[in-house]
Amino acid sequence: SDASFDFDVIVIGAGYGGFDAAKHAAEHGLKTAIIESRDMGGTCVNRGCVPSKALLAASGKVRELADDQHLASFGIHAAPVRFERQKIADHANQLVQTIRTNLTKTLERAGVTILRGHGRLEGSQRVGLREPSGVDRVLSARDVIVATGSDPFVPPGIETDGRTVFTSDEAINLEWLPRWIAIVGSGYIGLEFADVYTALGCEVTMIEALDRVMPTFDPDIAKIAGRHLIDGRDIDARSGVLASKVTPGCPVRIDLADFNSRELVETLEVDAVLVATGRVPSSKGLNLESLNIETNRGFVPIDDSMRVLVNGQPVPHLWAVGDVTGKLMLAHTAAAQGTVAVDNILGQNRTIDYRSIPAATFTHPEISSVGLTEAEAKQLAETDGFQLGSVRSYFKANSKALAELESDGLMKLLFNKSSGEVLGAHIYGLHAADLIQEVANAVARRQSVRQLSTEVHTHPTLSEVVEVAYKQAASQLTA
Ligand code: FAD
């Protein structure tokens, strides 16, 4: 430790990015403090991954038990399903508390000083702290890590009241079940909540501004997943329309306008509206101006080593990780970036290969992806001058999926036809979120399908869907 500073490292924000950074720093002997203005654990633990997956776990069970046709195919006839909304909400809430407590204890055990309040930069190697009591302090640190995360984006024209018109921040509390809910946005958050609401008996209308529903997903995957997750659940999905004005109340009025012309198409009167239109960095109030940091729509610019950039040049001793940097905004990205930043503070020279970071949507069944999209892969093939290979492996050819009567699913694998390198994969189907990890590891190691196709998979498992894709790809190699 350098005694001329209050701390070796101060981390601003205790989400997964900040948590991993602080824990890693303290475990490596650095005198570390973490500043949090809201709840320890940030978005993921309190308002994101954790409670949403608890709700999806419960709604998935309800869905399975309530699907008479599915059960009847096994010759099973269950009594009508009853569920208690409050108990489902309690499960999510208790899980949040457990994980938040564990995480706080972990930091304390590692020797991290937890400071409550709002943090801001006060020039180089200095952090201002406004404590909940209103007292202001300035602390010095050799290195400062910004990990302030993100908040829901609410487009102009939409007014939220937190009860009839709300974002995921409130939806995770499952305070009531609207008879009819409009979900604005068909990204992963909108899809996950549509899964929960339809399982629990709500009628769902989905509004997507872009010209196709699920625009952030591979088009082929979106097509087959959409047939099941949207059409199969009687969700009225509209694309190319904008929720141009939403007024809370009973009912909620929602104006739909044509995305291109902005002309009013229709006004719906629904019981509730969930706004799931993406997230914005929470970098306001950080006083980034004091260091001349120019953000990109609020995102803090960083280089591959997590150093904050000013005019393209790294600022000494200032780092940023997680959603606030806008790179693949997921909990495991934030955590990985946090660890990399600290390793670099410790003198290593580490970067992150964002291409090998997988992403998943926890609908029933799940959707996942890693690496390049088909459009990106085509582009790369063109610039690098190689032939792009693309193969499909279907769950309906998989024994385990057939035994489970869950054979609706597809995996698409993109690869370089001459080197065999895996470039990307997109999966829709049972346990897709677990299946993608195997491919993510292959992308990280830049492995060729030539070798991957020889690796033996357990029979019968869903992992054979991946094995089949590798084998098909290997048979198409040109060299
Ligand atoms: P955050 O978790 O946002 O934490 C930042 C923290 O900084 C917050 O606690 C905030 O209060 C604090 N803070 C901000 N400014 C200051 C300040 N000036 N001073 C002090 N403290 C400050 N990701 C997945 O990987 N898997 C999932 O299944 C998944 N599901 C999700 C579901 C939902 C509904 C949502 C909304 C998100 C989900 N995510 C998921 C995304 C995931 O939650 C985020 O990527 C992750 O939380 C980012 O971590 P972070 O540390 O960058 O920021």
Smallest CA separation from ligand 1 atom 18, residue? 119
Strand partners, 237: 206
pLDDT in tens, 71-83: 999 999 988 999 9
Closest CA to 354 of 383, 385, 321: 321
Q: Got the DSSP string for 35-50?
A: EESS-TTHHHHHHSHH
In our burial notation (b when 16+ CB lie closer than 10 A, e otherwise), range 26-63 reads: beeebbbbbbbbebbbbbbbbbbbbbbbbbbebbbebb
Distance, in Å, from the CA atom of 206 to the CA atom of 218, rounded to the nearest integer, reads 19
pLDDT in tens, 284-298: 999 999 899 999 999
Q: What is the pLDDT of residue 29?
A: 98
Closest CA to 111 of 27, 217, 221: 27
Q: Please classify residue 274 by burial: count the beta carbons closer than 10 Å to its beta carbon, then call 0-12 exposed, 13-18 middle and 19+ buried.
A: buried
DSSP E strand stretches across 250-312:
252-258, 264-270, 272-275, 279-281, 307-310
Distance, in Å, from the CA atom of 388 to the CA atom of 342, rounded to the nearest integer, reads 38
Distance, in Å, from the CA atom of 338 to the CA atom of 161, rounded to the nearest integer, reads 34
What type of residue sits at position 294? Answer: E
What is the whole-number distance in angstroms between the Cα of residue 416 and the centre of ligand 1?
35
Name the pLDDT band for 3 (thresholds 50, 70, 90): confident
pLDDT in tens, 41-67: 999 999 999 999 999 999 999 999 999
Q: What is the pLDDT of residue 307?
A: 98
Q: What is the pLDDT of residue 89?
A: 98
Name the pLDDT band for 196 (thresholds 50, 70, 90): very high
Is the predicted pLDDT of residue 408 greater than 90, yes or no?
Answer: yes
What is the whole-number distance in angstroms between the Cα of residue 322 and the centre of ligand 1?
8
Q: What is the pLDDT of residue 27?
A: 98
Is 373 labelled as part of a ligand binding site?
no
pLDDT in tens, 243-297: 999 999 999 999 999 999 999 999 999 999 999 999 999 999 999 998 999 999 9
Query: Residue 122 in 3-state DSSP?
Result: coil
Identify the weakest region by mean pLDDT among 25-34, 75-84, 244-253, 454-463: 75-84
Q: What is the pLDDT of residue 173?
A: 98
Q: What is the pLDDT of residue 124?
A: 84
Closest CA to 21 of 138, 141, 180, 139: 141
Distance, in Å, from the CA atom of 56 to the CA atom of 63, rounded to the nearest integer, reads 10
Average pLDDT for the chain: 97
Is 329 labelled as part of a ligand binding site?
yes
Of ligand 1's listed atoms, the one at least distance from the Cα of 120 is 18
Entry pTM: 0.97
* Cβ-contact 252, 229 below 8 angstroms: no
Candidate of 37, 39, 43 to mutate for ligand 1, largest count of ligand atoms within 8 Å of Cβ: 43
* Cβ-contact 446, 416 below 8 angstroms: no
Q: What is the pLDDT of residue 35?
A: 98
Catalytic residue among 91, 317, 426, 459: 459
Compute the average pLDDT of residues 214-230: 96
Is the predicted pLDDT of residue 1 greater than 90, yes or no?
Answer: no
What is the whole-number distance in angstroms between the Cα of residue 42 and the centre of ligand 1?
5
Smallest CA separation from ligand 1 atom 14, residue? 148
Compute the average pLDDT of residues 231-240: 97
What is the whole-number distance in angstroms between the Cα of residue 47 and the centre of ligand 1?
8
* Cβ-contact 422, 436 below 8 angstroms: no
Compute the average pLDDT of residues 132-149: 98
In our burial notation (b when 16+ CB lie closer than 10 A, e otherwise), range 110-137 reads: eebbebebbbbbbeebbbbbbeeeeeee
DSSP state of 148: -
DSSP E strand stretches across 348-441:
359-361, 366-371, 388-394, 410-416, 422-429
Is 139 labelled as part of a ligand binding site?
no
Is residue 28 annotated as part of the catalytic site, yes or no? no
What is the whole-number distance in angstroms between the Cα of residue 240 and the centre of ligand 1?
29
Give residue ranges with CB within 6 A of ligand 1: 12-18, 35-38, 42-44, 47-49, 52-53, 118-120, 147-150, 168, 189, 282, 285-286, 322-323, 329-332, 334, 362
Q: What is the pLDDT of residue 130?
A: 98
Smallest CA separation from ligand 1 atom 11, residue? 38
Scanning the structure block, which residue is given the tokens 């390049």? 372
pLDDT in tens, 324-372: 999 999 999 999 999 999 999 999 999 999 999 999 999 999 999 999 9
